[in-house]
Amino acid sequence: MSRLFLILGDQLHPDPHPLLVDFDPARDRLLMIEAPVESTHAWSHKARIALFLAGMRHRAAAFRAAGQPLDYLQLGMHPHADLASALAAAIRATPTRAVVMLEAGDHRVQESLQQTCDAAGCPLLIRPDPHFLCSLDDFMAWAGEKPNLRLEFFYRWQRKRHHILMQDGQPLGGQWNFDADNRQAFGRQGPGMVPEALRFAPDAITQNVLADVEQHFPRHPGRLDRFGWPVTPAQAKAALDDFVRHRLPAFGQWQDAMWEDEAFLWHSLLSTALNLKLIHPRTVIDAVLAAHAAGRVPLPAAEGFIRQILGWREFVRGIYWRQMPHLARANQYGHDTPLPAWFWTGNTQARCLSATTRQTLEYGYAHHIQRLMVTGNFALIAGLNPAQVADWYLAVYVDAVDWVEAPNTLGMALHAWPGMTSKPYCASGAYIKRMSNYCQGCRYQPQQRTGPDACPFTTFYWDFLSRHAERFRQNPRMAMPLKNLDRLSPAEREAIRSQAAQLRRQLDTL
């Protein structure tokens, strides 16, 4: 009886692949599956589908070149809709002593594979994924029974135990973060010359994938002609080097700024390579540390970037596995407004929303502040249904895997699960005006709360505060917004409430 080693589409680690430490090519079998349901359970952007398939096919080519005995079930060439039925068939086909896999990145997938193995009477051996800088055991021990988890404490703990940007037990530069230097807006002059990010022209394997995606998923959102994501470890390393050299020095300063028709700015575009495990986060951090040590990158930029990788990315993964499956149903505000149709087309007069959603459909990419403070903020204050919003984020971003998308959407952006941030990330049009040029060409006025030209963000912001004011009074971090709310007359508050209710009824025409 052989063992069946299963490698999922986001487990494309470079050689030596960590699942295969005790793989015996003479007896064991290696299985990879292109399952159509993984592209349809969330109605995925074509580029997201293409990215996973291209990564998988390149990984399969590397396994074959190394002489590994691989069963690769390619889209359209096997009868199975989902991973579970393909795995069940593989277990039936050959006597199987055990199925061996790394931890999945999706609770739904892990559950279905477990059920499949249980039903087949075949043990499923799940091994920790060494890709991460905080194992799930370590995270659970750190989190303990705390009802509320805070990034800042987790991040400091990670810095200390990994000895990153530390000196004599203290943070390098004497402070844990440099937000005062980072996170600036461009001002009227705009970003100027932005270094162009390295993109990768599709090779023959990727071109076949692009054709397959058009053939099998023609009605899915997004387009493929802009596809240029790294799909091999070598490309991931080239993308890292390009970022560290050309964009990292200004990353921190501009990490929150937005500008129309500038999709990438100084961001790294490394989330896809990281999430597919084409590159290890420690490799990324070491490259940043080396550039800082060589004097090529200021400390605020290095720290601002490392916090995202060593802090946020590991933090949200721990939260996902600690809070699932309840996280998926979280909705502390009881929001239930359906997602407006323009999320899928970009056809809205609200310029910030149209720019962000159009760019998302073009590339499958928007940077963090676009996701958090434009679409996410809007969904929160307009009261959109959290599960529908989470499905949209999972569908449209090339880097979306459930473990990273769900906590970011349901915890951080929508505050539907309240244990992850100390207050909701809600803001009026004034924030978007300060951080971007979107408002300049918009038909709405960011400072107006009511009236025909009122900015929908501003109307919904005050309405959101007003609707949940009693809950927020318990939270000292909401004291200032509530003080401003209390300055509004009852008549103004009623006008806002009525305009917000009207707007909510006709969101599709925004």
Residues at the contact surface with ligand FAD, assessed by CB under 6 A: 267-271, 274-275, 308-309, 312-313, 316, 367-368, 371-372, 376, 393, 397, 399-400, 404-405, 408-409, 412-413
Under the binding rule (CB under 6 A), the answer on residue 438 touching ligand SF4 is: yes
Under the binding rule (CB under 6 A), the answer on residue 358 touching ligand SF4 is: no
CB 375 within 8 A of CB 422: no
CB 371 within 8 A of CB 393: yes
The rounded distance, in Å, linking the Cα atoms of 399 and 80 is 25
Residue 70 three-state SS:
strand
Under the binding rule (CB under 6 A), the answer on residue 365 touching ligand SF4 is: no
Under the binding rule (CB under 6 A), the answer on residue 371 touching ligand SF4 is: no
Under the binding rule (CB under 6 A), the answer on residue 254 touching ligand SF4 is: no
Structure tokens belonging to residue 358: 């159009």
Structure tokens belonging to residue 312: 């946020």
Under the binding rule (CB under 6 A), the answer on residue 351 touching ligand SF4 is: yes
Structure tokens belonging to residue 168: 């004599």
> 350: part of which helix (H) or strand (E)?
none
CB of 432 to ligand SF4, least distance (A): 4
- Contacts with ligand SF4, 443-472, as mask; x by CB under 6 A: -x-x--------xxx---------------
- Say which entry of ligand SF4, ligand FAD, none residue 433 contacts (CB below 5 to 8 A, set by partner kind): ligand SF4
The rounded distance, in Å, linking the Cα atoms of 121 and 83 is 17
CB of 430 to ligand SF4, least distance (A): 8
Residue nearer to ligand SF4 on the CB measure, 424 or 429: 429
CB of 439 to ligand SF4, least distance (A): 3
Residue nearer to ligand FAD on the CB measure, 90 or 288: 288
Residue nearer to ligand FAD on the CB measure, 112 or 271: 271
Taking each continuous run of H as one helix and of E as one strand, the counts in the chain are 23, 7
Which one of the spans 52-60, 191-199, 220-228, 429-437 is the region binding ligand SF4 (CB under 6 A)?
Answer: 429-437
Question: In 164-259, which ranges are continuous DSSP H helix?
Answer: 204-216, 233-246, 248-254
CB of 409 to ligand SF4, least distance (A): 20
Residue nearer to ligand SF4 on the CB measure, 407 or 446: 446
CB 438 within 8 A of CB 378: no
CA angle at residue 446 from 442 to 451, to 5 degrees? 95
Number of shown-chain residues binding ligand SF4 (CB under 6 A): 14
- Say which entry of ligand FAD, ligand SF4, none residue 432 contacts (CB below 5 to 8 A, set by partner kind): ligand SF4
Nearest to 389 by CA among 409, 367, 364: 409
CB 331 within 8 A of CB 386: yes
Residue nearer to ligand FAD on the CB measure, 20 or 236: 236
Q: Which residues contact 124 (CB under 8 A, 6 or more apart)?
A: 98, 99, 101, 113, 114, 117, 118
Q: What is the 3-state secondary structure (H, E, C) of 420-448?
A: CCCCCCCCCHHHHHHHCCHHHHCCCECCC
Nearest to 154 by CA among 41, 397, 322: 322
Distance of CA 25 to the CA centre of its chain: 36
CB of 171 to ligand FAD, least distance (A): 19
CB of 285 to ligand FAD, least distance (A): 11
DSSP 180: T
Residue nearer to ligand SF4 on the CB measure, 98 or 503: 503
- Contacts with ligand SF4, 321-350, as mask; x by CB under 6 A: -----------------------------x
Q: Which of 432, 465, 485, 507 binds ligand SF4 (CB under 6 A)?
A: 432
CB of 194 to ligand FAD, least distance (A): 13
Give the chain's end-to-end CA distance (angstroms, integer): 61
* Residue ranges that bind ligand SF4, judged by CB under 6 A: 350-352, 429, 432-433, 438-439, 442, 444, 446, 455-457
